[in-house]
Amino acid sequence: MTWLNNYLFLPVVILFITGSALALMRPQPRSMLILAAQYIAVSWLASTSLPAAGVAAKLVTGLLVCVIFYIGIRQIGDDPLRGDDQLLSANIPFSIIALLLVTVASVSVARSNLFAQFDIRIEASVGALFLIAASLLNLGLGTDQLRIGIGLLTFVSGAELIYGFIEPALALIALLTMVHLGIVLVISYIISIQIRYAISENRDP
Amino acid sequence: MSAGLVIFLFTIIYSLLCLVLRHQRMASAFAAAIGAGSIAAFVLLVPFDEAFLFGEISIKFASEWIILGRMFSLSENVRPLIGFLYLSGAFLLPAAWLVNANRFFPSVALLILAIVAASLMVDPFVFAAVFIELAAMGAVFVLVTQQHPRSTGATRMLILYTIAMVSILFTGSLLEVAGITSATPVLAMRVTFMLGFGFAILMTIPPFHLWLPKSVEESDPYILVFILVILQSAGFFFLLRFLDSYVWLREQTLIYDGIRIAGIITTILAVLLSASQRDIKKLMAYALLVDLGVLLIALGSGTEDAFRLALSLSAVRVIALGVLALGLSYLCNSAWLVSQMRGVGYKMPFAAAAFLVGLLSVAGTPLTAGFPVRWSLLTVVLNADKLAAGTVLFSMVGLGMLVIRLAAILFGRRDDDDIIAVSKEPRIFLLGGILLLLLLGLFPQLVFPWVEDVASGLANLFL
Instruction: Write the pLDDT tens digit of every residue in B17-56.
Output: 999 998 998 999 999 999 999 999 999 888 888 888 877 7
How does pLDDT run across A125-175, given as a tens digit for each residue?
899 999 999 999 888 877 788 889 999 999 999 999 988 888 888 888 888
Residues 6+ apart with CB under 8 A from B397: none
> Average pLDDT for consecutive 10-residue bins of chain B (463 residues)?
90 95 92 95 89 82 84 87 92 88 91 94 86 94 89 92 91 75 74 88 91 90 93 90 82 87 95 88 91 93 87 90 91 64 80 92 91 90 88 93 89 68 79 90 79 71 68
Residues 6+ apart with CB under 8 A from B376: B305, B309
Residues of A in contact with B136 (CB under 8 A): none
B52 beta partners: B59
CA distance B430 to A11: 60
CB-closest option in B70, B134, B152 to A171: B70
Residues 6+ apart with CB under 8 A from A83: A204
Within-domain flag for A98 = yes
- Residue B194's pLDDT is what? 86
**With an 8 Å Cβ cutoff, is B151 touching chain A?**
yes
| CA angle (B297 as vertex; B91, B167 as ends), nearest 5 | 80
CB contact under 8 A, A172 and B146: no
How many other CB atoms are found less than 10 A from the CB of residue B445? 10
Residues of A in contact with B166 (CB under 8 A): 155-156, 159, 163
Within-domain flag for A187 = yes
Contact by Cβ (8 Å): A134, A23 = yes
| CA angle (B63 as vertex; B58, B68 as ends), nearest 5 | 120
CA distance A92 to A87: 11
Q: How many helices (H) and strands (E) does chain A have?
A: 8, 0
CB contact under 8 A, A189 and B158: no
- Residue A81's pLDDT is what? 46
How many other CB atoms are found less than 10 A from the CB of residue B238? 25
- Residue B337's pLDDT is what? 53
B53 beta partners: B58
- Residue B227's pLDDT is what? 94
Within-domain flag for A144 = yes
* Residue A39 structural domain: 13-109+125-201
Within-domain flag for A193 = yes
Within-domain flag for A21 = yes
Residues 6+ apart with CB under 8 A from B335: none
- Residue B451's pLDDT is what? 73
Residue burial A54-84, b: 16+ Cβ < 10 Å; e: rest? bbebbbebbbebbebbbebbeebeeebbeee
CA distance B69 to B357: 49
How many other CB atoms are found less than 10 A from the CB of residue B232? 20
Contact by Cβ (8 Å): B188, A129 = no
Within-domain flag for A186 = yes
| CB pairs A-B closer than 8 Å | 87
Within-domain flag for A120 = no
**With an 8 Å Cβ cutoff, is A202 touching chain B?**
no
Contact by Cβ (8 Å): B121, B238 = no
Within-domain flag for A5 = no
Residues 6+ apart with CB under 8 A from A128: A45, A110, A158, A159, A161, A162
Q: What ipTM was reported for this prediction?
A: 0.90
CA distance A117 to A140: 31
CB contact under 8 A, B146 and A193: yes
Q: What is the CA radius of gyration of chain A?
A: 17
CB contact under 8 A, A117 and B130: no
Residues of B in contact with A190 (CB under 8 A): 140, 144, 151, 154-155
What's the pLDDT band for A86 if we cut at 50, 70, 90? low
Residues of B in contact with A182 (CB under 8 A): 133-134, 137
Q: What is the CA radius of gyration of chain B?
A: 22
Three-class SS state of B179: coil
Tally of structural domains, chain A: 1
| CA angle (B222 as vertex; B220, B228 as ends), nearest 5 | 105
